[in-house]
Each structure stands twice: as structure tokens, then as C-alpha cells.
Amino acid sequence: MSLEWPEWFMLGWLALVAVIAVLTPTWMPRPRTIGRFARTVGLPLDGDEELERAVGERLRLRAGWGTLGTLVGIAACVPIVLSGALTTHSEWGVSIAPFAWIVLLGVLFAGRGIGVAISILPAPPEVRRHGPRIARLPRPTVADYVAPIERAGARVLVAIGALLAVGVGFMPIEIGPKLLVGAATLGAIAVLVAVELVSAALVARPQPAVSEQLLRWDDALRAQTLRDLVSVPLMFGTLAVFAAAVTGLTWAGSLGDAGLVTVNVVGNLLIAASLVVLAFSIALKPARYYLKRLWPAQYADTQPPAYGSTTPAPPAPEGA
């Protein structure tokens, strides 16, 4: 079978992702990388070399499993690309081609999510060396680690996809697009249920630590892992919504001028809503949500003082 340029482009992109994934674990122990992660999750290193080594070891372990999961995802993507299902070789291909990149990203996110989830299953390296000294009771829940906008967002997105799929089912169109939308929706629902169960199982596991400081870092890594998992149903939910929306808008566009106006308005609203939600999510700094729930004192230290705060200013240096 001769490949066309879209397949070659996808295969080249997958090869680039594989190279980056393989190199990522070598970047993790670097102080700059560790410092960037510390700033993202809102935890200080305070120049503690022993703490930096422990965090670097955990990040390297996480990156290694993430790389393995990503490579498994790439291995799953290659035959999909070679089959022509993501391009325009057949009537089925024509239907799924607009969502090819969402499919690839969904498979890659799933592979990486599984990998990083495996990375937090064993006890941390420092616990295996020195033994556990503290443990938290009662245990947290998934709601303590993942911000509502991300966790509920995945559920809402999949629910919207399901509602749209029901609407597509009643449209007077061919069976092929209906099957595609139905498969995308059922896949998104299955992924959401699987991620919810896996996330709950991960959080239910014991959380031994050698110090309260490292327990906070373990919470940070747990939060990042659960957020990685939530990204999987978000991606497949996006696929379900766009598959149903494009199918419905394509049918509406065939109805004449009124249909074309509807297509333009609804399409622009979908894009605008996606950008607003993305900007709002970034502004909330979801990577630090776990601090707010589990370590409120440390979370307060990461917040800038409120306007008009009565906190006294530091004394001016002598001779100023």
C-alpha cells in the first residue's frame, strides 16, 4: 500500500513525539527542570540538596513510566495511520479524517496517563530506603487533587457529546456518520468511567512518607498524575462533541442559506466557548489546587497579598 503525504506527515510527527518522550527522562534530574516543577505546584525547595535529589528521583521515575506509556500509545497509533482510517482512502475515512489529530492525541494521552499512573503505585524510593515514618489519616479523595473545572469539565463534555449523539441519531442522514458519532460517544463514556475508577483506586492506596515535607511533594505528584488521567476523557469527550457537531452542522449546511448561517454561528460559538474555558482554567492555576485542599497554610503562602493588605512592609535598609 502506497502512503500519501498525510500519512507520512502523521508518521513523522509520531516519530518526533517518540524522540521527545525518550529524551524527557534525561531532563528531569536537572535543577532547572526541578525548579520549574516546584514553581508550578507551589512548593519551595529552599536550597535543600537532599530534597532536590529526592524530588528529582521521583520526577525521573515518573518521566520514565510516562515515556513507556507514550511509546505504547505511539505503537497503537502507527497501525491506525497505516490503515488509512484517519485519512481519505474510503467513505469511512472521509468521515473520520477531520478528527484525525484528536484521535491520535487521545491515544497518546491514554498511553501516557497509564504510564504515569503506574509510576505512583510503588512506595517512593526514599520510603523503601528509610521506611515510612508518617501516614495521613483520613485519606484524601480525588476531589482533593483535581480542580472542579477539570474533573467536572470532563463529565460535562462527555455528557454534551452524548446528548448531541442522540440528536444526530434522529437526523435524516446516512448510517455511516451516525455509527461514527455513536462509536466516538461510547468510547468517551467508557474512557470517563475507566478514569474515574482508576483515579479512585490510586487515591485509596496508602501514602507512606518519611517526612511531612515529602508528603506534600507526594501530594503534588499525585495531583499531577490524576490531572494527566483527567485529560484523557477530556480529549475523547472533545472528539465526541466535535464528531457530533460537525455531522449535525454538515447536515444543516445542506438545507440552504439558513442552514449555512446556523453552521457559522454555532461553529464560532463552539470555538469561542472552548477558548474561554481554556483561559479560565489556566487562570485558576489547577496545578496548585491540591495545596488549597490539603495544605491550606502552604497555599496561603503562595498567594500574593490582597490589595490594601495591612501586612507591614519590610524595614528599609539602613542608610536608605
pLDDT per residue as tens digits for the range 141-183 = 999 999 888 888 889 889 988 998 998 888 888 888 888 889 9
Q: What is the pLDDT of residue 90?
A: 47
Q: How many other CB atoms are there within 10 angstroms of residue 200's CB atom?
A: 12
- What is d(CA 192, CA 235) in angstroms, rounded to the nearest whole number? 10
Cell (9 digits) for 163: 446528548
- The CA dihedral of 109, 148, 196, 85, to the nearest 10 degrees, is -30
Q: Residue 199: which residues within 8 A CB-CB, separation 6 or more?
A: 142, 146, 226, 229, 230
How much is the pLDDT for 308? Answer: 40
Tell whether 311 is covered by a domain: no
pLDDT the model gives residue 5: 78
Report yes or no: 22 and 98 within 8 Å, Cβ to Cβ.
Answer: no
Q: What's the pLDDT score for residue 283? A: 61
Handedness of CA 28, 31, 34, 35 (dihedral sign): negative
- Structural domain contains residue 152: yes
The pLDDT > 70 percentage for the chain reads 78
DSSP state of 124: P
| In contact, 226 and 145? CB cutoff 8 Å | yes
User: What is the identity of the amino acid at 178?
Assistant: K
Domain holding 235, by residue range, is: 5-126+137-295
- Determine the pLDDT at residue 214: 86
> What's the confidence (pLDDT) of residue 309?
40
Q: Is residue 187 part of a domain?
A: yes
11 located within any domain: yes
**Matching residue, cell 458519532:** 181
**What are the contacts of 200-204 at 24+ separation with CB within 8 A?**
200/141, 200/142, 202/117, 202/120, 202/121, 202/226, 203/139, 203/140, 203/141, 203/142, 203/144, 203/145, 204/139
313 is a domain residue: no
Give the Å distances, CA to CA, from 42 to 27, 45, 89, 288. Answer: 20, 10, 49, 6
DSSP string, 65-98: HHHHHHHHHHHHHHHHHHTTTTTTSSHHHHHHGG
Which pLDDT value is given to residue 28?
72
Q: Give domain status of residue 301, yes or no.
A: no
Task: Provide the 10 A C-beta neighbour count for residue 47.
Answer: 7
310 located within any domain: no
Number of domains present in the structure of the chain: 1
3-state secondary structure 238-306: HHHHHHHHHHHHHHHHCCCHHHHHHHHHHHHHHHHHHHHHHHHHHHCCHHHHHHHHHCHHHHHHCCCCC
User: Block means of pLDDT (10 residues each) for the chain, length 320 residues?
Assistant: 78 94 83 86 84 87 93 92 69 58 88 91 76 71 90 89 89 84 92 94 85 88 92 89 82 68 68 66 75 86 52 48
In a domain, 312, yes or no: no
